[in-house]
A and B are shown apart, each in its own frame.
Chain A
Amino acid sequence: MNWLPMLLDATESTAANYFPIGIQIIFAVGFVAFMIALSAWVGPKRKTSDKLESFTSGISTHGDARHPMAIKYFLVAILFVLFDVEVIFFYPYAVNFKSLGWGGFEAVLLFVAFFLVGFFYIIKKGALTWED
Chain B
Amino acid sequence: MSAIQIIFWFLSALAIVSALMVLISKNPVHSVLWLIMVFFAISGHYILLNAQFLAIVNLIVYAGAIMVLFLFVIMLMNLNNESEPQKNVWMRLAGAVSGGCLLMILVSLVRQAIEINNKVAEMKVGDIGLIGNLGKALFKDYLVPFEISSVLFLSAMVGAIVIGKKN
Contact = CB atoms under 8 A, between A and B. Distances in A.
Question: Is there a direct interface between A and B, measured as CB atoms under 8 Å apart in the complex?
Answer: yes
Interface of A: 13-16, 18, 64, 66-69, 71-75, 77-82, 84-86, 88-89, 91-93, 95-96, 99-100, 103-104, 107-108, 110-111, 114-115, 117-118, 121-122, 125-127, 132
A114 B76 contact: no
28 contacts: A15-B47, A15-B50, A16-B124, A66-B75, A66-B79, A68-B75, A68-B77, A71-B166, A75-B161, A77-B72, A79-B160, A85-B61, A89-B138, A89-B146, A91-B135, A92-B132, A93-B135, A96-B135, A100-B136, A100-B139, A103-B139, A107-B143, A111-B147, A114-B150, A115-B153, A122-B161, A125-B165, A127-B165
Given A86-B153, A110-B147, A95 B135 contact: yes
Contacts, number: 135
A14 B134 CA distance: 15
B16 interface: no
A89 to B, nearest CB: 7
Would you list the 10 A-B pairs with minimal beta carbon distance, nearest first? A92-B135, A114-B150, A96-B135, A75-B164, A118-B157, A81-B65, A68-B78, A104-B139, A74-B72, A95-B132
A71 B76 contact: yes
A18 to B, nearest CB: 6
Nearest to B74: A66
Contacts of B158: 121
What band does the interface of chain B fall in when counting residues whose beta carbon is under 8 Å from A? 35 or more
Chain A residues touching B, majority SS:
helix
A118 B153 CA distance: 8
Interface in B113-167: 123-125, 127, 130-132, 134-136, 138-140, 143, 146-147, 150-151, 153-154, 156-158, 160-161, 164-166
B66 interface: yes
B52 A15 contact: yes
Given A71-B164, A79-B157, A92-B135, A84 B147 contact: no
A92 B129 CA distance: 11
B147 A92 contact: no
